[in-house]
Amino acid sequence: MPSSLSPISFNQILEHYSAQVDEQLEAILPASHGPAADLFAAMRYSVFNGGKRLRPALCFAAAESVAASDSNTAKVAAALEMIHAYSLIHDDLPSMDNDDLRRGKPTCHIQFGEATAILAGDGLQSLAFQQLTELNNVEPAVVVELIAMLSRLGGCSGMVTGQAIDLAATGSALALEQLKEMHAHKTGALIEASVLMGATVTGRASTEQLQALSAFARAIGLAFQIQDDILDVESSTEKLGKKQGSDVNNDKSTYTSILGLEQARREADELFDSSIQALQGFGESADSLRAIAGFIVQRGH
């Protein structure tokens, strides 16, 4: 367990990066206007409703691990957060997870209706790619690489396929390896994109550094999901005595249902250790990445 990393250090890191990405998101998503006012209101509602901005933080921290962050990092970070917001809007839809609440507030389709929620997700996805075409003084080859990374890891070789595996598995028990494969795609891929794109937009990341950052991101991506399952069980147990977490109620396999709570905690700790190990070739420039990894396995409700 990362005993040397205090939650305060992570909160400071998060606030610092959030301010920069929020400024960029404000510029991309001005207050709703014109004939499609509802669409813009729905996009803003979903982007500015209390997300932790974990993916932007990873993007900034990865940029700083190899060089420095700048206004281009903020654009890439905004693109990643818009993809994340779109995925949550679509994941909450009646035809998917059918959730009424997200971050304690009505989900986008409850607030704006299903058709507008679908369009808000579509709009956020295309705005994300548009951001990557509006970087300043970045080599065209780097722009192409960023677009390739986001389409691969956010799309059919990553998050979208993860969601499809999840849908196909509904109602049937998954073995541990299948569960890992599903989460590596569904949540891990966008986390990996956040780290790799942050480093790539600097134009200064070496192949070896990208390989190490990829190993780091894969480890924390899995740890993130395990911790999510642990929190799911803990919050349900706290609130309801003996009732299980929501994924268990939805008949979904989870790390805790397969491994049990204690073994799941050990796995998350081991993945944290592997993530730190992956950064051994980096000096202090990767301290923010290390702090974020600590937050991922220590975070509470």
Query: What x-and-dash track marks residues 136-175 binding ligand GRG by CB under 6 A?
Result: -----------------------xx--x------------
CB of 90 to ligand GRG, least distance (A): 4
Q: Are 120 and 82 contacting, i.e. CB atoms less than 8 angstroms apart?
A: no
CB of 187 to ligand GRG, least distance (A): 5
Is there a contact between 131 and 115 (Cβ–Cβ < 8 Å)?
no
* Phi-psi group of 248: left, alpha or beta (phi > 0 → left; psi -120 to 50 → alpha; rest → beta): alpha
CB of residue 238 to ligand GRG, shortest distance in Å: 18
Task: Report the 3 state secondary structure along 88-139.
Answer: HHHHHCCCCCCCCEECCEECHHHHHCHHHHHHHHHHHHHHHHHHHCCCCCCC
Read off the DSSP letter of residue 286.
Answer: G
Closest CA to 124 of 7, 38, 44, 49: 44
Closest approach of Cβ 5 to ligand GRG, in Å? Answer: 18
Comparing CB distances to ligand GRG, the nearer of 95 and 277 is: 95
- The answer to whether residue 87 forms part of the interface with ligand GRG (CB under 6 A) is yes
Query: How many residues make contact with ligand GRG (CB under 6 A)?
Result: 14
User: Smallest distance from the beta carbon of 286 to ligand GRG, in angstroms?
Assistant: 21
Sign (positive or negative) of CA dihedral 188, 190, 191, 195: positive
Cβ closest to ligand GRG, residue 22 vs residue 209 = 22
In terms of Cβ atoms closer than 10 Å to its own Cβ (0-12, 13-18, 19+), residue 217 is: buried
Q: Distance between CA atoms of 236 and 238, rounded to whole angstroms?
A: 5
DSSP state of 162: H
Residues 183-222 interacting with ligand GRG (rule: CB under 6 A): 186-187
Q: How far is the CB of 214 from ligand GRG (least distance, A)?
A: 19
Interface with ligand GRG includes 24 (CB under 6 A)? no
Stretch in the footprint of ligand GRG (CB under 6 A) among 5-13, 37-45, 86-94, 266-274: 86-94
Nearest to ligand GRG of 51, 106 (CB atom): 51
**Residue 102 β-bridge partners:** 105
Q: Which of residues 41-80 bind ligand GRG (CB under 6 A)?
A: 51-52, 54
Strand partners, 105: 102
Work out how close the CB of 191 gets to ligand GRG at its nearest, in angstroms, rounded to a whole number.
9
Question: Does residue 109 touch ligand GRG according to CB under 6 A?
Answer: no
Interface with ligand GRG (CB under 6 A): 51-52, 54, 87-88, 90-91, 103, 159-160, 163, 186-187, 228
